[in-house]
Amino acid sequence: MIFRADSNSGKLYFFEVCQDGRYLFSRYLDYTGNNVKDLAGGTSAAITTGLNQANVIAVVVQGSTLSIYVNKQKIASASDSTFNHGQIGLLADSNNQPTEVAFTDVKVWTLKIH
């Protein structure tokens, strides 16, 4: 998942989940991939592993607090105020392996904080 992105400059936050249980949450300053800062990463038991498995992913952004969820479980949180708005997108990366990905029921909410 890509969010708070600027498609012209390549600035974005990127959250990826892999079928082996790994995840990575990063900030990109441009498209080159040379200006990347990993904000969180590792493995999580919340990720359903293996081929042909579904995972529900979500990002909750409140100001500079960025929280990532898999299957309704918070797996990591980071504080970063580099980007405060932008586009949202979904991406499938094959890592040079045959890959099939399906995205369904994509939703974006604006939460009102009282």
CATH number of the domain residue 24 falls in: 2.60.120.560
The domain in which residue 9 lies consists of 2-89
Establish if 99 belongs to a structural domain.
no
Bridge-based pairing state of the strands 11-17 and 2-6 = antiparallel
Residue 53 counted as domain residue: yes
* Calpha distance 86→81 (Å, rounded): 13
In whole angstroms, what is the distance from residue 80 CA to residue 63 CA? 9
CA separation for the pair 2, 87 (Å, rounded)? 8
Per the structure, how many domains does the chain have? 1
Please tell me the distance from the alpha carbon of residue 50 to that of residue 87, in angstroms, as a whole number.
30
Query: Are 19 and 44 contacting, i.e. CB atoms less than 8 angstroms apart?
Result: no
pLDDT score of 51: 87
How many other CB atoms sit within 10 Å of the CB of residue 5?
19
Flag whether 67 is in a domain.
yes
Predicted pLDDT of residue 94: 77
pLDDT score of 64: 94
pLDDT on residue 112:
73
What number of other Cβ atoms are within 10 A of residue 23's Cβ?
21
- Could you tell me which residues are beta bridge partners of residue 24? 16, 41
The pTM (predicted TM-score) of the whole model is 0.87
Low-confidence ranges of the chain (pLDDT < 70): 114
